[in-house]
Structure 1
Amino acid sequence: MAGQRDCNSVVTAGRLSKATEFFELAELREDTHPNAAGDLYVDAGITASDVICCVRLGVHSNTGKHNEAVALVKKADSGSERHLSTLLSLKNKAAYTHQNLSSAELKKMNRAADHLVEKARRLVASRT
């Protein structure tokens, strides 16, 4: 289907590795570089969402359209889409505007990314 890419174990493992890397670095830099950390939380959430979709659907989103990615995650794991939506709603502020993320926004992003990364880890672990 257009806007989706097939997954295999190599793609899934690679996406999970990146999700973990982005999330861990974001947590390390949250206090000193909050906007960069916020952007990394978005990256972690997107790549973790790809893993969730890979495990459950055999495909992940390959489109720049956020609504399509959110819909695919909802299909793969109902409830997780709200965490991805949270991250995507703050993406522009973190990366593309002159405004800084507030500590409350960063905390919300941390929780959303953490949920997605942990869900992705559990799904992959349950397959092996």
Structure 2
Amino acid sequence: MTARTDANARLEDARAFLESAKTIDTLNDAESYADVIATNAIHAGIAASDAFCLLTLGRHSKSENHADAVSVLKAAEGDGTTLSRLLGEKTKAGYNVKSLTRPKATKCIEWASKLLDAAEEKYAQS
């Protein structure tokens, strides 16, 4: 497998996660869906960031430490700030008893979309 092939696979994941987040957001207006929407958006942003790094550096972070993923994305000259924001919501959305709000879930979709757009652009340029 090449880095480009791996990046393409991660882009496919990112698109699917983001589509899932947007679909759930559209079809279910209950506040209780906020964590599910955000979690899918967060995974979309992670996958998009992985693709960006693979295309730029030929590698991505495989660490479970979120700070490492942000550092690798910054080294690839990607948007580490946006990834950091998304990752900051990951534990809250996935593991806390108290749910995120729908506005926060919407922000997660926006942040993930921004990271996916950058990865798509990088893929088109490479």
TM-score, normalised by the number of residues in structure 1: 0.88
Aligned to 2:125: 126
Decide which structure has greater strand share: 1
Map residues 41-52 of structure 1 onto 2, 5 A cutoff.
41-52=41-52
**Counterpart residue identity of residue 29, structure 1:** I
**Which structure 1 residue ranges, 5 or more long, are not aligned?**
1-5
* Residue 115 of structure 1 pairs with residue 114 of structure 2: yes
Provide the residue aligned with 2:82 in structure 1: 83
> Which residue does the alignment assign to 1:67?
67
Query: Residue 60 of structure 2 aligns to a residue in which SS?
Result: strand
How far residue 10 of structure 1 moved from its aligned partner, in angstroms, is: 1.7
Q: Amino acid of the residue matched to residue 94 of structure 1?
A: A
Scaled by the length of structure 2, the TM-score of the pair is 0.90
Are the equivalent residues in 2 in contact too, given 1:7–1:60 (CA < 8 A)?
no
Alignment of 1:10 with 2:5, yes or no, is yes
Structure 1 equivalent of residue 55 of structure 2? 55
Residue 7 of structure 1 and its aligned partner are, at CA, apart by 5.3
Provide the secondary structure at the position in 2 that maps to 1:110. helix
Shift of 1:100: 1.2
Give the share of equivalent positions with the same residue, in percent: 30
Question: How many Å separate the matches in 2 of 1:42 and 1:14?
Answer: 17
Moved more, 23-32 or 89-98: 23-32
| Higher helix content, 1 or 2 | 2
Q: 1:27 aligns with which of 22, 25, 29?
A: 22
Moved over 4 A (4+): none
Q: Please, what is the CA RMSD of the aligned residues?
A: 1.4
Distance 1:49 1:68 in 2: 12
Aligned length: 121
- Report the CA distance between 1:30 and its aligned residue: 1.8
